[in-house]
Structure 1
Amino acid sequence: MNNNNNTDINVNEETQLLNDELIATYLQDNPDFFARNPQLLASIRFSDNKRGVVSLVERQQQIQRQKIHALEEEITQLLTVANYNEQLFTVYNDLYLSLIESPDLSDFLSKLQLTTTQLLNLAGFKLYLTNKDFEIGHPTIVKTDCSEILENRLGDKEYYFGRIQKSEQESLFASTDVGSVVLVKLTEREKVLGFIAISSQDAEHFHPTMDTLLLNQFRTLIAKLLIQQLLKVGL
């Protein structure tokens, strides 16, 4: 008895799917069907989980409102990003002008740190240099050997966005309370000078899909200006 019931259910489901397919195909092949039968439009009803049974017009209005709401959210996000990028551009532009006038390496690094942590509201700024044949007494300079981080996180890439291991956090920032980071490789004439490490307490702040347009300019100019400052101290 149960087998017969199951067979009947399967047959009914297959029949319904076949009928649905035939109807869908017919309507696609006959786009003027409702133009020839306008009375059907007024009688069509849809089942809605929140509103119960609604008419075709109500259903179309609901879909249209959802599309408008989605577009409004997208426009708001685009405007937010545009406004943020404009603010970043202004901050970077002021920073570059200030760095050009830096009298020494210490002042240069202090301005970078100030802009990063205060104006951009980020947690930390560090600079790792591959050349260890010198002593620079500035808190932003990473003293530990981070060559493995340079190789593993950057390698043949210019940037790394995201989270890093606790041991890497300790090596770079002398802390394990780091949410996410951006690592920026600094090169000049294909020579790797080192990398900048900027941290945020927010684990989602730096992510792999971030735009690098402004960072490309930042990376190029900082590398050139850093070389000038290093030459002043005989490096």
Structure 2
Amino acid sequence: MTTTPPPSMSPMNPITEDDIAEFLANTPDFFERHAQLLATVQLNSPHSHRAVSLQERQAEMLRDKIKGLEGRIMDMIRNGTENMILIDKLHRLACELFETPLDERPFVATDKIAMQFAVPQVALKLWGLEARYAAQPYAKNISDDVKTYADALTAPYVGANTGLAAVQWLAQPAQAASVAVVALRRAKGQPAFGLLLLASPDSQRFHSHIGTDFLMRLADLSSAALLRLQPLTI
């Protein structure tokens, strides 16, 4: 077997820790020839702050690795459980919306979203609707600026209330510290026909680092349930 020669030391070329590490990595049979070293090597334990053998230190490292993997597994199980809860709530919301008469769906949508997902305030506005819905509260007081904002909203806005005009639709606008805003569309890339606003007095409830997959699915579901309030297109 060919072995890597040990690094040579000279005043001009001192041996470094990297040299030693490289030598040991490239000479796997070193400890076979010097097995007695394994029994004499002592390392500091990060748990007990005492000197332990190399084998004991390796066992501690293995236990730490197993503990870390167990933690990751528990996180995956917890996330999976939370996702199933969200899916179940979305499913129930869908069933309730499609069982509701068309003219009542906007009211049911805001009430059920607030209840199912524990959102303190929810507001919904729709435009471009059939004439018979024009007098409904959800079709009034919608500025052109809001419609332009909704058209430009290709992804949910999640974060602090920065003075969005849509916040004034809420019963208590001053209590909206953080918001989530999604546009409603017939299909991706088409103009928006509505805007759904979720608000909380908790500034961390909706923040810019949370995922938006759930909000996008909520927007798709709400759009499918409400688009029939628009005139039929051929």
The aligned residue for residue 221 of structure 1 is 221
Partners of 1:95 and 1:111 within 8 A in 2: no
Alpha carbons of 1:124 and 1:90: their partners in 2 closer, same or farther (altered >3 Å)? same
Partners of 2:110 and 2:124 within 8 A in 1: no
- For residue 177 of structure 1, report the CA deviation from its aligned partner: 3.0
- For residue 73 of structure 1, report the CA deviation from its aligned partner: 1.9
Count of matched residue positions in the alignment of Structure 1 and Structure 2: 213
1:69 aligns with 2:67: yes
Partners of 1:162 and 1:180 within 8 A in 2: yes
- Could you give the per-residue CA deviations for residues 99-123 of structure 1, whole angstroms, max 9, x where no partner exists? 1122243x31232223222221122
- For residue 155 of structure 1, report the CA deviation from its aligned partner: 2.7
Partners of 2:178 and 2:200 within 8 A in 1: yes
Q: Secondary structure at the match of 1:176?
A: helix
The aligned residue for residue 204 of structure 1 is 204
The aligned residue for residue 154 of structure 2 is 157
- For residue 26 of structure 1, report the CA deviation from its aligned partner: 0.4
In 1, Cα distance between the equivalents of 2:180 and 2:95? 23
Coordinate RMSD, CA, aligned: 3.3
In 2, Cα distance between the equivalents of 1:26 and 1:144? 73
The aligned residue for residue 5 of structure 1 is none
Alpha carbons of 1:125 and 1:68: their partners in 2 closer, same or farther (altered >3 Å)? same
Q: Secondary structure at the match of 1:182?
A: strand
After superposition, residues 179-190 of structure 1 pair within 5 angstroms as 179-189=177-187, 190=190
- For residue 169 of structure 1, report the CA deviation from its aligned partner: 7.6
In 2, Cα distance between the equivalents of 1:146 and 1:74? 48
After superposition, residues 125-136 of structure 1 pair within 5 angstroms as 125-131=122-128, 134-136=134-136
Partners of 2:126 and 2:194 within 8 A in 1: yes
After superposition, residues 107-146 of structure 1 pair within 5 angstroms as 107-131=104-128, 134-137=134-137, 143=141, 145=143
TM-score, structure 2 length as denominator?
0.74
In 1, Cα distance between the equivalents of 2:142 and 2:202? 25
- For residue 166 of structure 1, report the CA deviation from its aligned partner: 4.6
User: Match of 1:112, as an amino acid?
Assistant: A
Q: Secondary structure at the match of 1:126?
A: strand
In 2, Cα distance between the equivalents of 1:149 and 1:71? 48
In 1, Cα distance between the equivalents of 2:147 and 2:81? 33
- Could you give the per-residue CA deviations for residues 167-226 of structure 1, whole angstroms, max 9, x where no partner exists? 5584353423334332222111512113211224443343445151x5444323321321
- For residue 144 of structure 1, report the CA deviation from its aligned partner: 5.7
1:88 aligns with 2:89: no
The aligned residue for residue 5 of structure 2 is none
Unpaired stretches in structure 1, ≥5 consecutive residues = 1-11
Q: Secondary structure at the match of 1:157?
A: coil
**26-35 or 57-66, larger mean C-alpha shift:** 57-66
Aligned partner (choices 95, 98, 101) of residue 99 of structure 2: 101
Q: Secondary structure at the match of 1:204?
A: coil
In 1, Cα distance between the equivalents of 2:72 and 2:162? 34
The aligned residue for residue 195 of structure 1 is 195
In 2, Cα distance between the equivalents of 1:202 and 1:66? 37
Q: Secondary structure at the match of 2:174?
A: coil
Partners of 2:106 and 2:226 within 8 A in 1: no
Percentage identity across paired residues of the two chains = 21
In 2, Cα distance between the equivalents of 1:101 and 1:143? 28
